[in-house]
Amino acid sequence: MKLIQLSDIHLTAPGATIGGRDPRRNFERALAHVLRDHHDAELMVITGDLSDWGDRDDYLWLRTTLDAFPIPTRLCIGNHDRRDVFLGVFPEYDDGGFVQGMHDVSAGRCLFLDTVEPNTHAGRYCDARQVWLQRQLTGHPGPFLLFMHHHPMPTHLGPMDRIGLSDGAAFRSIVGAHRNRIRHVFFGHCHLPLAGSIGGVPTSSLRGTNHASFPLFSETAMLSASDLPQSYGVCFVGADYVTVHMVEFGYDGPIRVEGSPEYTAWDRETMVR
C-alpha cells in the first residue's frame, strides 16, 4: 500500500511569498508531481500548518483544490492554523472540539491527531486528547498509522524543541503501551527530514512543500531557514516493512538516468577499474 505525506504547506494570500517562495504555487507543484508519479496512492495526508496565518480564504482555496484532486486526502492542523477557522470550512473534522479522526486503508487504521494549543507555537497533547487516543487504540485491533503535526520526540535543536510537544513524555508512553500494533508515526512542523522512534515505534518527518529549515546545531536561540528543495513524502507499507521516501520535487538540477547520454557523460571515470 502506498500513501503520500505532505506537510507544512503554509498557504498564504495569492502571490504572497515565504522565503521567496509562493506556497500556493509550490502546493500545486507538489500535487502535480504526486499525480505524475503516484496516482495509485491510496491516501494523501497533509500533516499541518495548512495556512500560514489561519486565514479562512486559505482553507476555502484548499477545500476547492482538494475537491478536484483524485487521491483521497486527510488533514491535520498545525501551530500556524486556527482550529475554529479551519472547522468553519472543514466541519467534518470536528471530533469533541478537536481536529482529529480516523480513516481506514488496506494497511490498517490511520489516526489523525490534533497537537495544537492556541496562542503558542508549541504543541500540546492534553488529557482529553490522550483519552481519545487511548480509546481509539483499545477499541480497534489495528494495525495503526499515526499522523500529527508537532514532533513527538526531542530534536536536540534548542529553538525547535522550545516549540515541541509539551506533553511528549505522556504521548510517547501511550504509543509505547500499544507499540506492537502501531506501525509508524508521521509528523511535520520541523521542516526537516527526521527519523527515530518513540516508545519503540518508528517515526519520521520531512521537509515541507514550501520553505525549508536546516539542522544548525550551533544556533541555540533562533530557528534556521535554508533554500533546500521543497519536498513531499512517499510511504510504502508492506506486510513486514515500512519504507519512507522524501521526494525533493523542488530540486531543479539535472537527474541523469542510467543508459542516457547525460548519464554516460556524467559517469564514470572514478568508477572504471
**Positions in the binding site for Fe ion (CB under 5 A):** 8, 49, 78-79, 189
Least separation in angstroms between residue 191's CB and Fe ion is 6
Q: Least separation, in Å, of the C-beta of 189 and Fe ion?
A: 4
- CB of residue 48 to Fe ion, shortest distance in Å: 6
Kindly tell me which of 49 and 108 has the beta carbon lying closer to Fe ion: 49
- Name which of 199 and 208 has its Cβ closer to Fe ion: 208
Smallest distance, Fe ion to C-beta of residue 9, A: 9
Report in angstroms how near the CB of residue 254 gets to Fe ion at its nearest: 29
Beta carbon of residue 161, minimum distance to Fe ion (angstroms, whole number): 13
In whole angstroms, how far apart are CA 200 and each of 153, 180, 182, 189, 243? Answer: 12, 9, 10, 21, 17
Q: Which is nearer to Fe ion, 49 or 58 (CB)?
A: 49
Peptide bond into 143 cis (omega under 30): yes
CA–CA separation, 170 vs 178, rounded Å? 13
Spatial neighbors of 183 by CB under 8 A, at least 6 apart, are 107, 108, 143, 144, 145, 201, 202, 237, 242
Sheet holding 144-147, edge to edge: 101-105, 108-112, 144-147, 182-186, 201-205, 194-198
> What's the grid cell of residue 126?
492534553
Best CA proximity match to 222, nearest among 138, 272, 157: 157
How far is residue 7's CA from residue 186's CA, in Å, rounded to a whole number? 10
Task: Identify which of residues 77 and 237 has a Cβ nearer to Fe ion in the complex.
Answer: 77
Question: Which of 18, 11, 30, 28 has its CA nearest to residue 230?
Answer: 30
Q: What is the largest CA-CA distance in the chain?
A: 65
The C-alpha atoms of residue 48 and residue 123 are separated, in whole angstroms, by 12
Which of residues 78 and 152 has its CB atom nearest to Fe ion in the complex?
A: 78
**Residue closer to Fe ion, measured from CB, 178 or 207:** 207
